[in-house]
Structure 1
């Protein structure tokens, strides 16, 4: 997965990032909208936010060919309807 995500308060101090993604099929058609969980070491921070009083907001996370396993992808439309993945570790 590759992309750029802006306005990430606390990113320099976080261990995980939850970012939005459009999921595409083999033809490039969007088939789902998802929330994706990625370890922050996989997402370098581009320091472009220099507003007074907001130094904790590190503007942009950058992902380049980041592998995201299926268990870290949440379908937003499904979640809005109450359909969530269930953990098998109970």
Structure 2
């Protein structure tokens, strides 16, 4: 399965690119599974994701929970926590 992964804000800075196409194994069929597959790649994904307490995600431009299904051809985006004033 192949998905498009997008990184925003500090995740983009830490990983060094705004996004990429990623081939996933069958067990990475949820938003959490995609995140875990990225962490398993090692650096820079490991430290970019593990150092954040809460990472928001979206599937096909809709905010989603960790158990949201991810299918072949989907777009997955990750956002670090942000504050505003």
Same fold flag (TM > 0.5): no
Q: TM-score, normalised by structure 1?
A: 0.27
Higher Cα Rg: structure 1 or 2?
1
Structure with the larger helix share: 2
Q: TM-score, normalised by structure 2?
A: 0.28
